[in-house]
Homo-oligomer: A and B are copies of this chain.
Amino acid sequence: MRGIPDRADTRNPATHRADTFGPNGKNQPLAKQRATRSVGCDGRAGELSCRSQKLMLQAGLIHPASPGCYHYLPPTVRAMEKLIRVMDEEMQAVGGQKVNMPSLSSAELWHASGRWNKMGTELFRLEDRHGKEYCLGPTHEEAVTELVAAHSNLSYKQLPLRLYQITRKFRDEPKPRFGLLRSREFYMKDMYTFDTSEEAARQTYKLVCDAYCSLFDRLGLPFVKVQAATGNIGGTMSHEFQLPADVGEDRLVLCPDGHFAANVEMLNGERTSCPTCGEKLIQTRGIEVGHTFYLGTKYSSISNAVFCSPENKPQLAEMGCYGLGVTRILAASIEVLSTEDNIRWPSLITPYQLCFIPPKRGSKEEEEGAALLDRLYNDLAEVLPHLAGDSVLDDRTQLTIGKRLKDANKLGYPYVIVAGKRVCEDPSVFEVWNQNAGEVLFLTKEGVIELLSKAQVP
């Protein structure tokens, strides 16, 4: 882990000791230095802008590159890859096929849909060496519709078609802020669906919304699904998935009994009571983490994306599009789950499940304790290899156990296993901190393995 005094010992390659490039060592005032840079880079005087940004910078999860653009450091990449795996599962469970579309998107496409002008300064625009114009895709309705339209002999039997990608997107935000919550480069999961009829498209819409609910449930994130405005994407029906949070940029109104939930943006005028039960609506703020649109034939009619009907006639596909902010979900999770000082992740996507803390250098447990912890790790690796590969060894043994435990708590490892005072008892006893439960257990090696086997570690 950080501040590693010696990297010679690589007996356990699966244990990530080498996150020298992750969390900043406390013996090294990097956090301060980083915070300063971040302030400079984001052009904000004074303090950092929100909890997740502050925590992610301090913990070495992200590092600013230019306004609204961040380097994702190793723990963030791990969390992101885990999140992507969950998204893949959910999308493939609803018949999603994964594709990958270029970032460079030709101006012609956007002129045809009218969005080249409509998107204004939010589009990053550029010319190639031949003077041909492109934008960097913030979303891919035009591109995917062209792709499907090019398959001109598509039969109704081949629909529904549900294509998705998880790629980097670009948006020239007027004020990039809040770290990964509103950045200019970000990762998004975007799905585009093609159906034979409005009815079929509405079924698809429901199916994908349910998949989104399942995803947020699995992550253990409290969310609300609200009616939303369609904006410049267009279409006739739209919902947002919002995580309630003070820092959220959207204002929401919710019926306390769940009859009604909307982004105030989409309401004509003010609404203070539920249209169903008349109860006073609750006002809250939310971070938008997902957005769904029923598009109808808006894009398919532009590109002539047709399929061959049972009557053998060309017919426009009914479309939907569906976005999930990948990097935004990472930051929003930290925003809503963490305390002011301590990061908490959804356990499904935590960068590491386990942290091992060997005894302090020079303590009387030093040698035996380190060896016993090593043996525990090896036995664990045999029984639960996946978990072993998801571990960090904090071998900054110049620091006390207490100091390292505090850091582990800040970084939010779900389980911290300490070779403390009782490790030299017979049989040895390890301290196991379950951070989410906020409890400590004293367990033998077998006890630790049993606990972790039973724990719902993904």
Task: Evaluate contact between B97 and A19: CB separation under 8 angstroms.
Answer: yes
**Copies of this chain in its oligomeric complex:** 2
- Bound-state CA distance A437–B125 (Å) is 51
Other-chain contact of A102, B4, B29, B69, B124 (Cβ < 8 Å):
B69
- Bound-state CA distance A167–B70 (Å) is 14
Residue A299, interface by CB 8 Å: no
Minimum distance in angstroms from A245 CB to a CB of chain B: 25
Chain-B contact segment, one of A156-164, A270-278, A314-322, A366-374: A156-164
- Bound-state CA distance A147–B60 (Å) is 12
- Bound-state CA distance A146–B41 (Å) is 13
Task: Evaluate contact between A134 and B21: CB separation under 8 angstroms.
Answer: no
Task: Evaluate contact between A104 and B185: CB separation under 8 angstroms.
Answer: yes
- Bound-state CA distance A111–B97 (Å) is 42
Residue A155, interface by CB 8 Å: yes
Task: Evaluate contact between A102 and B151: CB separation under 8 angstroms.
Answer: no
| B-chain residues with CB within 8 Å of residue A12 when the two chains form the complex | none
Task: Evaluate contact between A66 and B158: CB separation under 8 angstroms.
Answer: no
Residue A5, interface by CB 8 Å: yes
Task: Evaluate contact between B4 and A157: CB separation under 8 angstroms.
Answer: yes
Residue A121, interface by CB 8 Å: yes
Chain-B contact segment, one of A168-176, A261-269, A279-287: A168-176
In the complex with contacts A3-B158, A158-B3, A37-B150 CB distance below 8 A: yes
Other-chain contact of A95, B18, B125, B128 (Cβ < 8 Å):
B18
- Bound-state CA distance A21–B150 (Å) is 11
- Bound-state CA distance A136–B124 (Å) is 11
- Bound-state CA distance A6–B37 (Å) is 58
Task: Evaluate contact between B4 and A65: CB separation under 8 angstroms.
Answer: no
Minimum distance in angstroms from A311 CB to a CB of chain B: 16
Residue of B nearest to A308 (CB): B28
Residue A339, interface by CB 8 Å: no
Task: Evaluate contact between A147 and B70: CB separation under 8 angstroms.
Answer: no
- Bound-state CA distance A134–B153 (Å) is 42
Residue A424, interface by CB 8 Å: no
Other-chain contact of A167, B37, B76, B124, B168 (Cβ < 8 Å):
B168
Residue A241, interface by CB 8 Å: no
Task: Evaluate contact between B153 and A28: CB separation under 8 angstroms.
Answer: yes
| B-chain residues with CB within 8 Å of residue A93 when the two chains form the complex | 13
Which A residues, 213 to 270, have Cβ-Cβ distances below 8 Å to chain B? none
Minimum distance in angstroms from A370 CB to a CB of chain B: 18
Residue of B nearest to A21 (CB): B97
- Bound-state CA distance A134–B33 (Å) is 25
Task: Evaluate contact between A100 and B124: CB separation under 8 angstroms.
Answer: no
Residue of B nearest to A157 (CB): B5
Q: Which of the listed residues A19, A20, A152, A184 has the most CB atoms from chain B within 10 Å of its own CB?
A: A20
| B-chain residues with CB within 8 Å of residue A129 when the two chains form the complex | 121, 172, 174
Other-chain contact of A18, B5, B34, B37, B97 (Cβ < 8 Å):
B97
| B-chain residues with CB within 8 Å of residue A151 when the two chains form the complex | 21, 24, 30
Pairs A-B, 8 closest by C-beta atoms = A126-B126, A20-B158, A69-B102, A72-B100, A28-B153, A74-B97, A121-B129, A77-B98
